[in-house]
């Protein structure tokens, strides 16, 4: 009987030969990721109340990113509590201010195809780019996982989205267009919540040509489609990335062949959508929802005060390189601030080594610490009353980046960079060639 990739991973984690969509099963968790906001400060009191310990410290990764670095007494106290908890509980995989959890996990080799992973954050579907079933939960669910090593899932249906194009030299999509534009286009087409907490599996000739960084952008924002997770089956690109981290790309349990890491073609999909992106243009999501996305010409010229390149969605090395390709030999417009918060310290190091940082800083960009920063209004770079920002992040809910009357437009790193140069939302294709 044919199965989807999600069903195969869940069945293995549930120690079952097969699972059916709609049934509730209990799964053993291969890896649990927590961060400073939803992690120790919320989980510690629960563990203490139940007089319980972490089930397996080797399977827990803790990242401080939401309140890092501390900007006031409260955030300093949250980070202090996080660090103490890590020591008291013997969490060796603790990355303190090293970068954003969703980027740290793959960068440090924690994700392998076929794993069943739970993250204490809604952008956990990012990990699905590595062929893992990784989804987000709240802190109480996570506390229960840290105690028992298990959690329940209602086996989801899978929506298959086939991304096709005319494969060209540059991956089959136009210059100045990226995975961010593809996912914003999908948000406008299906709406936030359109995936109804099913799995969205991305396939197609464009997907096989995308880098891991770009695949992560797609699965990351499958959260904005309301998916439980996004999935991309592992291939040579995945295995090569994992080898670079020094890890061996084997499945956590022995698999006989690659088919265990892929959906069967004749599996049941609740929907199959074909999206041709050969002629896709840059997309921008207008306030106050990611599904409020339109083609660039509809918003071109909107006055901005801030341009932000950051967060798990839009500040990986390739995102910075995209911005640099636009900013090269250009400068940030007078009166505009371009803030760039690289997704991790490894990202910063790599961008320094390959000359990307030089281009960014020479253009007048302001470098910020690695962390979630202004994206959710927790860190530095938040907006004042009535201010407008174009951002490479994932969400533009009302008031998310600061004052309730501030406005956030979402775009690719290319588009954010071009807008910073012009001082208004601008088409990046005018700056490339």
Number of H helices, E strands in the chain: 14, 18
- CA–CA separation, 195 vs 175, rounded Å? 29
CB of 418 to other proteins, least distance (A): 27
User: What are the CA-CA distances from residue 377 to residues 66, 209, 398, 417 (Å)?
Assistant: 10, 34, 11, 21
CB of 369 to other proteins, least distance (A): 17
Three-class DSSP category at 322 = helix
Q: Could you say which of 15, 58, 140, 272 contacts other proteins (CB under 8 A)?
A: 140
Q: Could you say which of 40, 106, 113, 120 contacts other proteins (CB under 8 A)?
A: 120
Q: Which of residues 194-253 bind other proteins (CB under 8 A)?
A: 196-197, 226, 228
Q: Could you say which of 90, 168, 193, 355 contacts other proteins (CB under 8 A)?
A: 193
Q: Could you say which of 80, 84, 138, 274 contacts other proteins (CB under 8 A)?
A: 138
Q: Could you say which of 382, 389, 420, 421 contacts other proteins (CB under 8 A)?
A: 382
Instruction: Verify binding: residue 165, other proteins, rule CB under 8 A.
Output: no
Cβ atoms within 10 Å, residue 234: 23
Q: Which of residues 383-412 bind other proteins (CB under 8 A)?
A: 395, 397-400, 402, 404
Q: By rule CB under 8 A, what string of x and - marks binding of each residue 315-354 to other proteins?
A: ----------------------------------------
The stretch among 120-128, 164-172, 210-218, 316-324 that binds other proteins (CB under 8 A) is 120-128
Q: For residue 364, is it left (φ>0), alpha (ψ between -120 and 50) or beta?
A: left
Q: Could you say which of 255, 345, 376, 388 contacts other proteins (CB under 8 A)?
A: 376
Place of tokens 């990721």: 33
In 155-298, at which residue ranges do the beta strands (DSSP E only) sit? 158-164, 199-203, 229-231, 271-276, 283-285, 293-295
CB of 334 to other proteins, least distance (A): 29
Query: Nearest-CA neighbor of 220 among 123, 310, 138?
Result: 123
Query: Nearest-CA neighbor of 378 among 43, 44, 70?
Result: 70
Residue 398 structure tokens: 């009302």
- Residue 3 has φ and ψ, to the nearest 5°, of -135, 155
Instruction: Verify binding: residue 24, other proteins, rule CB under 8 A.
Output: yes
Residue numbers of the site for other proteins (CB under 8 A)? 24, 37-38, 42, 46, 49-50, 52, 67, 72, 74-75, 78, 120-122, 124, 136-141, 143-144, 147-148, 152, 154, 192-193, 196-197, 226, 228, 289, 376-378, 382, 395, 397-400, 402, 404
């Amino acid at each position: 009987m044919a199965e989807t990739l999600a069903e195969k991973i869940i069945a293995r984690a549930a120690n079952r030969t097969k699972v059916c969509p709609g049934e509730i099963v209990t799964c053993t968790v291969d890896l649990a990721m927590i961060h400073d906001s939803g992690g120790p400060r919320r989980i510690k009191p629960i563990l203490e109340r139940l007089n319980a310990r972490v089930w397996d410290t080797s399977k827990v990764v803790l990242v401080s990113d939401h309140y890092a670095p501390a900007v006031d007494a409260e955030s300093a106290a949250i980070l202090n509590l996080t660090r103490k908890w890590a020591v008291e509980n013997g969490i060796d995989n603790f990355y303190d201010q090293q970068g954003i959890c969703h980027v740290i996990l793959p960068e440090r080799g924690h994700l392998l195809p076929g794993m069943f992973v739970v993250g204490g954050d809604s952008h956990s579907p990012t990990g699905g780019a590595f062929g893992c079933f990784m989804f987000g939960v709240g802190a109480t669910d996570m506390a229960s996982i840290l105690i028992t090593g298990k959690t329940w899932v209602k086996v989801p249906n899978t929506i298959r989205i086939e991304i096709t194009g005319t494969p060209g030299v540059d991956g089959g999509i136009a210059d100045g267009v990226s995975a961010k534009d593809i996912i914003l286009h999908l948000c406008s087409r299906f709406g936030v919540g359109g995936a109804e907490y099913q799995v969205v599996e991305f396939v197609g000739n464009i997907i096989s040509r995308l880098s891991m960084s770009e695949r992560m952008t797609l699965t990351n924002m499958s959260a904005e489609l309301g998916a439980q997770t996004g999935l991309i089956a592992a291939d040579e690109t995945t295995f090569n990335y994992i080898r670079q981290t020094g890890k061996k790309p084997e499945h956590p349990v022995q698999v006989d062949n690659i088919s265990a890491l892929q959906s069967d073609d004749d599996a049941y999909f609740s929907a199959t959508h074909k999206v041709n992106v050969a002629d896709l243009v840059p997309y921008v999501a207008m306030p106050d929802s990611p599904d409020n996305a339109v083609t660039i010409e509809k918003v071109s010229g909107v006055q901005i005060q801030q341009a932000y390149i950051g967060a798990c969605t839009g500040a990986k090395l390739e995102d910075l390189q995209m911005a640099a390709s636009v900013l090269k030999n250009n400068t940030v417009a007078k009166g505009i601030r371009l803030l760039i918060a690289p997704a991790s310290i490894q990202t910063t190091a790599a961008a320094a080594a390959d000359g990307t940082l030089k281009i960014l800083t020479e253009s007048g960009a302001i470098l910020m610490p690695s962390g979630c920063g202004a994206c959710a209004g927790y860190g530095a770079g938040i907006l004042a009353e009535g201010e407008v920002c174009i951002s490479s992040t994932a969400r533009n809910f009302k008031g998310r980046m600061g004052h309730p009357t501030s406005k956030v437009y979402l775009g690719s790193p290319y588009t954010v960079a071009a807008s910073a140069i012009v001082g208004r939302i601008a088409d990046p294709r005018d700056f490339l060639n």
